[in-house]
């Protein structure tokens, strides 16, 4: 299949982003995607005319993702949802107050809890997450929040915006930063689903000169301490000096010859993938007795409800898209039990929904992130370079340097591209130290 300066394994957010930066720098780039469609977990599926993401998705404004998309010229279409949330406790539905009058009228909180919640929200907005230190979200919450009910609220919102249901492990700094974005109204829902973003990145990659090949599975990165070529399942080989793997750590290890002698094996052993069971629904309309809030937080169960089609265009006929998710964390799903639990949750907030159902997709064991920011990682960051093999790099949600989810994918993609551009220039004796902003 010829020779390229860079071969990228994976055509999701990280792979496409890396390819655009590299092609714009004048390198020849090929993206290999083993599936029929690009996107990975950012794929969007058309069900009966409605567009379903693979579970809950939101881009958080003011993060690395938005910054990088702006650099690439991507204009996001969609909207920030208004503050509209419900809280479920002891099988009852409450309004989660976002305004002073709602807080005064709330039957969810006692008077002293309302007072502490007011003070907590004021403190959160002023906190510097970088100064919190290497403590868990649980340790921070038990130190800073007196009432257990308010800790339940913090844990529930943090689960929803990070997919991490382990406050005893979740690093407090990144968790607090994400809470600030959530309470600050930074969540953004994309018109057409995340597949629209993938399509935009694909078009920009092609215009920049990237070669994209689908249904082409890479099986081995061959090296002798320096990357030489990549071999595909159909027997084709591609000569290259740089490879970027945007898959998870296990697949990365499987791809690299003699991976046991590289840092990849250690990174794979340390990674703790996060999973979720997702029920995505298309309804004709909301039931007459249903709740109208956009986000629903179960305070006593690891469940989250999301109604993105309130503000994002996800169908042409006005049909309603709803996502429910059970946060599994590091555990496997019990599909039948989890599905029943999610359907029961839907019964609570949207009684009568079954009569309105048009279509659904159930994803019982979706890997939402291949690792997360944990206290036991002690600030250790993976990638972009594999130090034992020159020309080998990784990018993706598990290679963040403090970022979360899509932000980690975008930021690691840019870091990998910058490293390759610098290495390519150094091989030619053209490296200008300090050129480019490293993130």
Number of structural domains found in the chain: 2
Q: What integer is the mean pLDDT of 407-426?
A: 95
Beta strands in 71-154 (DSSP E): 78-79, 85-89, 92-95
Would you state the pLDDT for residue 433?
A: 35
Q: What integer is the mean pLDDT of 162-186?
A: 96
119 and 256 share a domain? no
Beta strands in 48-202 (DSSP E): 50-53, 59-60, 78-79, 85-89, 92-95, 187-190
395 inside domain: yes
169 and 216 share a domain? no
CB 205 within 8 A of CB 31: yes
Model pLDDT for residues 49-61, shown as the tens digit of each residue:
999 999 999 999 9
263 and 380 share a domain? yes
pTM score, whole prediction? 0.94
255 and 138 share a domain? no
Would you state the pLDDT for residue 380?
A: 75
Q: Is the pLDDT of residue 128 over 70?
A: yes
71 inside domain: no
395 and 264 share a domain? yes
Q: Which residues span the domain enclosing 135?
A: 98-177
Model pLDDT for residues 374-392, shown as the tens digit of each residue:
998 866 788 999 999 999 9
Confidence of residue 438 (pLDDT cuts 50, 70, 90): very low
Model pLDDT for residues 324-370, shown as the tens digit of each residue:
999 999 999 999 999 999 999 999 999 999 999 999 999 999 999 99
CATH of the domain at 404: 3.50.50.60
Would you tell me the crossing angle of helices 137-144 and 148-162 to the nearest 10 degrees?
A: 150
Q: Is the pLDDT of residue 256 over 50?
A: yes
Q: What integer is the mean pLDDT of 13-29?
A: 98
Q: What is the mean pLDDT of the chain?
A: 94
Q: Last residue of some domain: 177, 203, 219?
A: 177
Round the CA-based radius of gyration of the chain to a whole number and report it: 22
Torsion angles phi and psi, residue 413, rounded to 5: -60, -45
Would you state the pLDDT for residue 379?
A: 64
Q: What integer is the mean pLDDT of 68-78?
A: 95
Q: Is the pLDDT of residue 144 over 60?
A: yes
Q: What integer is the mean pLDDT of 311-319?
A: 95
């Amino acid at each position: 299949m010829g020779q390229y300066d860079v071969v990228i394994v994976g055509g999701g957010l990280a792979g496409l982003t890396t390819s655009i930066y590299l092609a714009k720098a004048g390198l020849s780039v090929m993206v290999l995607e083993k599936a029929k469609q690009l996107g990975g977990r950012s794929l969007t599926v058309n069900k009966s005319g409605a567009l379903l993401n693979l579970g809950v998705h939101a881009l958080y404004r003011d993060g690395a993702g938005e910054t990088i998309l702006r650099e690439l010229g991507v204009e996001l279409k969609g909207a920030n949802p208004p503050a509209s949330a419900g809280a479920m406790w002891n099988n009852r539905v409450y309004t989660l107050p976002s305004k002073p009058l709602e807080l005064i009228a709330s039957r969810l909180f006692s008077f002293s809890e309302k007072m502490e919640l007011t003070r907590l929200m004021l403190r959160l907005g002023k906190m510097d997450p970088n100064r919190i230190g290497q403590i868990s979200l649980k340790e921070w919450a038990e130190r800073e929040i007196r009432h257990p009910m308010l800790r339940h609220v913090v844990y529930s919102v943090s689960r929803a915006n990070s997919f991490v249901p382990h406050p005893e492990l979740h690093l407090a700094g990144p968790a607090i930063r994400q809470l600030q974005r959530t309470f600050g109204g930074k969540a953004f829902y994309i018109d057409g689903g995340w597949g629209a973003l993938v399509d935009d990145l694909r078009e920009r990659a092609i215009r920049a000169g990237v070669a994209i090949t689908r249904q082409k599975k890479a099986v081995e990165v061959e090296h002798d301490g320096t990357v030489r070529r990549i071999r595909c399942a159909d027997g084709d080989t591609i000569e290259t000096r740089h490879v970027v793997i945007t898959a998870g750590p296990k697949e990365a290890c499987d791809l690299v010859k003699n991976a046991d002698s590289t840092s990849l094996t250690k990174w794979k052993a340390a990674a703790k993938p996060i999973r979720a069971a997702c029920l995505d629904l298309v309804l004709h309309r909301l039931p007459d007795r249903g709740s109208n809030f956009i986000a629903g937080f179960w305070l006593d169960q690891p469940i989250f409800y999301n109604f993105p089609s309130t503000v994002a265009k996800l169908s042409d006929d006005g049909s309603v898209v709803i996502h429910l998710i059970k946060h599994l964390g590091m555990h496997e799903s019990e599909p039948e039990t989890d599905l029943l639990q999610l359907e029961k949750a839907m019964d609570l907030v949207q009684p009568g929904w079954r009569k309105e159902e048009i279509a659904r997709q159930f994803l019982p064991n979706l890997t939402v992130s291949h690792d997360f920011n944990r206290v036991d990682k002690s600030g250790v960051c993976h990638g972009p370079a594999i130090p034992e093999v020159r020309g080998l790099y990784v990018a993706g949600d598990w290679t963040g340097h403090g970022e979360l989810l899509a932000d980690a994918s975008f930021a690691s993609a840019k870091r990998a591209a910058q490293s390759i551009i610098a290495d390519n220039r150094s091989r030619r004796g053209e490296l200008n130290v300090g050129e480019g902003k490293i993130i």
